[in-house]
A and B are shown apart, each in its own frame.
Chain A
Amino acid sequence: MNRRPSRRARQRLAWVGLVLVVGTALAVGTGRGSTPPSAAKRAVSIEAAVRCPSCEGISVLDSSAATAVAIRRAVAARIHAGQTDAEIEAYLTSRYGPGILLRPPVHGATAWVWVLPPAALAAGLAGIAVVLWRRRQPDRVWVPAPDRALVEAALTARGGGEGERGR
């Protein structure tokens, strides 16, 4: 007679499966990163991260402006000359300032650009949560102690049962 595996055994099996899937994904991901990207891939990656200096908010990769073409040419030449991505970005920022990068480095004043929006979002969500929580609470009217004593005395005089209902 076949017995179905117990619930506990099924749960264990699911956990093992999950570990196997995550482990394989991590191994594949790490393995991919270990091979150096080709010069063309590096050029595309840098060009996508650099703002076209004479355009409005588009990358060098997406622009055909003369300045973008000149930057693409310079990036290719510098990769060919053996410069690292950081060295190429440093050259461009030494000419145009940090604003030439579409994602400016996270330090100093620019850090606030990255920190403030999530902080504002978190504060807003917390505020909404507090308001909703307060709305769910029954209305409570604050009554000064002397008034409360007077009401309780009056209720006691009328009878304890009614006094309890009034609360």
Chain B
Amino acid sequence: MSAGVGQPTSHRRHTARWVAAAALVLGASLVAVLATRPSATATEVNTPLVGTRAPAISGTTLAGQAFDLASMRGRWVVVNFFASWCPPCQQEQPDLVAFAYRHRALGDTALVGVVFDDAVSSARGFARSSGATWPAIVDGGGQIALDYGVRGPPETFLVSPSGIVVAHLDGPVTAAQLDYWLRREQSGVT
């Protein structure tokens, strides 16, 4: 009689032990995956701007010079929205510097920065300390970011020599990613 009463309780304990063990294994696997995965990089997003004419970018650079995107027609242009306070922007900056250095030598692609919601002095200090030599435009009212549909930095756009936005990348880019997207668009393969 007592065995009959005790059996379901023991069965329940057994099940609970298995459930606890499964939860433990699942939790440990999750921690392992999160700890070992590479840091997040940019993803290509399909926004309404892709395939349309690149909105105008004109204004004053951090160096105080006048700039107009239209003057870069005929070259591939990488437009990068950044801010000094944004950690992913700090993460991608060395890759942008490497990309800009390599392509300045090749003369096929130009890089343009747009300051996103940042103090001019902070953005200037950030660009200078990271070795960025490309023009960075001050977007005081945020109109350029709005025209490009930017939600938050870093966001990067690839503009074709004919002035069409061909790719929109969300998140910190790597030099390898930029080269890949550039080659893909240059060869016309989508």
Taking beta carbons and an 8 Å cutoff, which residues of A are in contact with B?
53-54, 66-67, 69-71, 73-74, 93-97
Contacts and interface: CB of A to CB of B under 8 A. Distances in A.
A125 to B, nearest CB: 36
Chain B interface SS verdict (over half): loop
B47 A70 contact: no
Interface of B: 47-49, 116-117, 141-143, 145-152
Given A53-B151, A54-B151, A67 B49 contact: no
19 contacts: A53-B150, A66-B117, A67-B145, A67-B146, A67-B151, A70-B141, A70-B142, A70-B143, A70-B145, A73-B141, A73-B142, A74-B143, A74-B146, A95-B47, A95-B48, A95-B146, A95-B147, A95-B149, A97-B149
A53 B151 CA distance: 5
B142 A94 contact: no
Contacts of B150: 53, 67
Contact of A97 (B47, B117, B143): B47
A54 B152 CA distance: 6
A93 B117 CA distance: 22
Nearest to B152: A54
A74 B141 CA distance: 9
Contacts of A93: 48
Given A67-B150, A95-B47, 20 more contacts: A53-B149, A53-B150, A53-B152, A54-B151, A54-B152, A67-B145, A67-B152, A69-B142, A70-B141, A70-B145, A71-B146, A73-B142, A74-B143, A95-B48, A95-B147, A96-B47, A96-B48, A96-B149, A97-B47, A97-B48
Contacts of B49: 94-95
Closest 5 CB pairs of A and B: A70-B142, A66-B117, A95-B149, A53-B151, A54-B152
A67 B151 CA distance: 7
A14 to B, nearest CB: 57
Contacts of B47: 95-97
Contacts of B117: 66
A23 B59 CA distance: 58
B25 to A, nearest CB: 33
Contacts of B145: 66-67, 70
Contacts of B148: 95
Contacts of B146: 67, 70-71, 74, 95
Nearest to B55: A95
A94 B147 CA distance: 9
Contacts of A95: 47-49, 146-149
A67 B149 CA distance: 9
Contacts of B141: 70, 73
A121 to B, nearest CB: 33
A90 to B, nearest CB: 11
A15 to B, nearest CB: 55
Nearest to A94: B48
Contacts of A96: 47-48, 149, 151
A105 B120 CA distance: 39
A66 B116 contact: yes
B141 to A, nearest CB: 6
A141 B145 CA distance: 72
A95 B48 CA distance: 6
B46 to A, nearest CB: 9
